[in-house]
Structure 1
Amino acid sequence: MADTTTQAIPTWRNRIDGAWLFSVSLVVLVALFDRGQLIPTLSFAAKALAGTAPFILFAVFAVAYLKATGAENLLARAFEGNPARMIVMAALLGGLSPFCSCEVIPFIAALLAVGAPLGAVMAFWLASPLMDPAMFAITTGAISPEFALAKTVAAVGLGMFGGFGTLLLANTPVFANPLRDKPQVGGCCGVKQPFSARPVWTFWQDPVRIATFKSTALENGVFLLKWLTLAYVVEALMVNYIPANLIANVLGGNGLGTVILGAVVGMPAYLNGYAAAPLVAELLDQGMSNGAAMSFMIAGGVSSIPAAIAVWALVKPRVFAAYLGFALSGSVLAGMVWQITG
């Protein structure tokens, strides 16, 4: 009897997604403690989802197409040529690629193992979690096209900032022998030789690629739906329960302090770029400064758990600390630039 119970508990927990559970829990708490706000909260979230639906659909089908065609194989070209060119190309492709960490980890591990410059790898690592086609679409819908474009430029800029910084400091103790003794080359996608084939743009002629398109579209659709549902439920609660002047007093204004605070708060508090976009939109409406919003999203994206794990799994702690240092300082710089120009 005890054995059955012990085995049932993990199975039950594994079947429940944390994002859905959190969303439902918040709604239940509202129903229990402030029933009058239940319908407004649900209505707010539903309307927000409906308004974002065109961007969600575009993101889902764009990523599915790129995945089905094998467009991720173009990433390998970023790491060919002289180091400066590699850093620029790695930052550009990292800031635009829509592919998951489980593919990036074995790819980067293989490159590091054969001696690819750490500067190019750092550029890719910093830019990769910050922007992709899906995130661009969601950020455009939730905040604005201008903010989405500025974040894309910031992602590429941060990649080059960290890449060239690493290149300049390559001979210092921080970056000497950067790899762990046994870097984790495996990945959850089971990719043994990642990014080694040519893209096939007419994927609909191949049944396997059609299946990839369908599965990727479904997975990304569910992923975006669950995180945006959580984001819009939290946004509804923010509207109802957080005074706008509180946000304006803490994260408002045009000073450097608010930009730094946005970065410092963003690093530990970030969920992911998809959920963060509508929340930042609401914070902007409540008085958060443009610069703080940008630094929050840049610093938080680089330090989010999936992005950080991809780095931590492969390099020594001092290189990981440099990664976070580039993220924090680069996010503050991006925030200040957006504060002035945005």
Structure 2
Amino acid sequence: MAFFAWLNDQLLRMDWLSYLVRLLLEDGFGLDTLSRVGASLHFFIYDVIKIFILLAVLIFSISWVQSYFPPERTRLILGRMRGVRANLMGALLGTITPFCSCSSIPLFIGFTGSGLPLGVTFSFLISSPLVDLASVILLASIFNWSIALAYVLVGIVLAVLGGSLISQARMERYVEGFVLHSKVLDLPPTQLTRRDRLQFAWEQVADVFSRVWLYVLIGVGIGAAIHNWIPQELISTLIGEDNWWSVPLATLVGVPMYADIFGTLPIAEALVAKGVGLGTALAFMMAVTALSLPSLIMLKKVVKGPLLALFFSIVLVGIVLIGYLFNSFAYLFI
């Protein structure tokens, strides 16, 4: 166990990187890393480099696996399933796609247009921005594996239940006509060479970096400010774990924002360090990634009001319940 703990600290938490950044700031620039300025710079530099290193490795690995499951092949696999099993597969598919909520919508259109059940495509749409493998590893690097795995489990359960409820509601009539009648190319799967897969994986890394780098910088910057400049008493008064309203407030605050999960993780880390409940911080993170205003606006273009309202209500209530759940049982994970 000691070896695995050491491996986790060095590979995921990157304690060696934290030490090098501290050495650089103290010996190279003469900054005290226990001061506000020094601690903020250490938090920012260390977290940014750590997140980008992990992102590059994880997105490359995930994309390599993805190269064996192009959308057409995935559609064929899902098309043979029905019921909860199909919803579960749709949710699991979302976990291996490193997409934000807006990027998931084109795939949602393609899956729906190809005849997949509406509930299955919504299970995918919920899980894709919420629970992807890269974010799981980053959660483990910031918190621990217990929290990361519990987060995955509740995220998949929410996606399956959400998709199942939408399926039972029979809301197909509230999908815009152009989605249901969109053309789908039924091409035979191509055999990719190793070089093709390498190129695809590197292209995915570059694409994800181009979409998330700014949000990572902003998120880490906000996290550094929360961690070192905002008084703990103020945060505890507003969204401390003893306040019953902290979870719904954090969820509602997160909805209008737009950021990738990689940008919200450092904020969640700083909030927990300041005494905010684990569930409150995770609820904020989930609301930003799954219910951001830009993604809802995009989704409104492909589904009608009643279906959008049902989707929003299910995910919102689910996030709040998950937040309370994590707050109540946080002692099991920390």
* TM-score range normalised by the length of the shorter chain: 0.7 to 0.9
CA contact (8 A) 2:251 2:320 kept: yes
CA contact (8 A) 2:175 2:304 kept: yes
Aligned: 1:267 with 2:255: yes
Which structure has the higher relative contact order (CA within 8 Å, separation 6+)? 1
Q: Which residue of 1 aligns with 2:152?
A: 152
Q: Which residue of 1 aligns with 2:222?
A: 234
CA contact (8 A) 2:101 2:289 kept: no
Q: Which residue of 2 aligns with 1:55?
A: 54
Q: Secondary structure at the match of 1:288?
A: coil
Q: Which residue of 2 aligns with 1:95?
A: 95
Cα distance, 1:329 vs. partner? 0.5
Normalising by structure 2, we get a TM-score of 0.75
Aligned: 1:178 with 2:166: no
Equivalences, count: 295
CA contact (8 A) 1:59 1:135 kept: no
Q: Which structure 2 residues correspond to residues 292-303 of structure 1 after superposition, within 5 A?
A: 292-303=280-291
Q: Which residue of 1 aligns with 2:133?
A: 133
Taking the aligned partners of 2:128 and 2:294, their CA distance within structure 1 comes to 11
- For 1:159, the aligned partner's letter is A
Q: Which residue of 1 aligns with 2:27?
A: none
Cα distance, 1:130 vs. partner? 0.4
Q: Secondary structure at the match of 2:119?
A: helix
Q: Which structure 2 residues correspond to residues 177-326 of structure 1 after superposition, within 5 A?
A: 177-183=173-179, 193=185, 198=189, 205-254=193-242, 256-305=244-293, 307-309=295-297, 311-326=299-314
Normalising by structure 1, we get a TM-score of 0.74
CA contact (8 A) 1:124 1:159 kept: yes
Taking the aligned partners of 1:114 and 1:52, their CA distance within structure 2 comes to 36
Instruction: Select between 139-148 and 72-81 the one with higher mean Cα deviation.
Output: 72-81
CA contact (8 A) 1:105 1:185 kept: no
Taking the aligned partners of 1:41 and 1:306, their CA distance within structure 2 comes to 30
Q: Which residue of 1 aligns with 2:26?
A: none
Q: Which runs of 5+ in 1 are unaligned?
A: 1-35
Deviations 1:90-133 (A, max 9, x none): 12222343356687444433443454322222222111110212
Q: Secondary structure at the match of 1:269?
A: coil
Taking the aligned partners of 2:36 and 2:66, their CA distance within structure 1 comes to 41
CA contact (8 A) 2:257 2:293 kept: no
Shift of the 52–298 alpha-carbon distance from structure 1 to 2, 3 Å rule, reads closer
CA RMSD between the two structures: 3.2
Cα distance, 1:283 vs. partner? 0.5
Deviations 1:12-51 (A, max 9, x none): xxxxxxxxxxxxxxxxxxxxxxxx9766644431122344
Taking the aligned partners of 2:180 and 2:82, their CA distance within structure 1 comes to 27
Q: Which structure 2 residues correspond to residues 52-131 of structure 1 after superposition, within 5 A?
A: 52=51, 54-70=53-69, 75-76=74-75, 77-99=77-99, 104-113=104-113, 115-131=115-131
Taking the aligned partners of 1:150 and 1:218, their CA distance within structure 2 comes to 30
- For 2:64, the aligned partner's letter is Y
Cα distance, 1:250 vs. partner? 1.6
Deviations 1:290-336 (A, max 9, x none): 22122222222211256435532321122111111111101011112
Q: Which runs of 5+ in 2 are unaligned?
A: 1-34
- For 1:44, the aligned partner's letter is F
Shift of the 159–151 alpha-carbon distance from structure 1 to 2, 3 Å rule, reads same
Taking the aligned partners of 2:109 and 2:273, their CA distance within structure 1 comes to 42
